Amino acid sequence: MNRISATLLLLLAFATTAYAAKAKSDTFKRNSDKGTELLFQLDVKVAADVAKEGRAGFFTHWAEDYVEFVDSGDIVSGEDMRKQQPWPQGALLTWTPIHAELAASGDLGYVYGTWIFIAKDKEGKDAVEYGKYTTIWKKQKDGQWKVASSIGNSSPTPKTDK
């Protein structure tokens, strides 16, 4: 009798956990549908500011405690990032968001996508780098959305179909 009771208890616990996970997932999806557009628009706004102002275009969008996970490098604070040299004259960073989600809580979300960075090399020719990124957005106490963290890393040159 104890084995049957234990088995039934385990099955009940499993069913309850599965139901709770499904309910949480459904809630996340409903909220992310609303928040997806918001996060995409935030990402597009940052891209426009960066296209206009270069690297400095990021700064107004960073949370006070922003950190970046540098490709093949360290974890760097926003304060330290601001102290770095600006990009070379004429450098351009563009990106395309692919996916965004908003947590059920409505105060945290992320966007990921691909980027292209173009700058002149030593011979004055365009040097193009490709990569992918993830940006973590966090709603601040004042209701504004700011970037809490980001990571970007390099990718090989995309193959073209011929």
For the stretch 78-99, pLDDT in tens is: 887 788 777 778 889 999 999 9
Residue in this structure with the two tokens 């959305």, named with its chain if needed: 145
As given in the structure block, the two tokens for residue 24 are: 């949480």
Q: Give the chain's residues under pLDDT 70.
A: 1-34, 161-162
Q: What DSSP designation does 131 have?
A: E
Residue 2 confidence (pLDDT): 46
Tell me the C-alpha distance between 14 and 27, whole Å.
Answer: 20
Q: What is the C-alpha separation between 44 and 15, in angstroms, rounded?
A: 42
This prediction's pTM: 0.72
What pLDDT sits at residue 161? Answer: 63
Domains in the chain: ranges and CATH: 35-155 (3.10.450.50)
**pLDDT at position 33:** 64
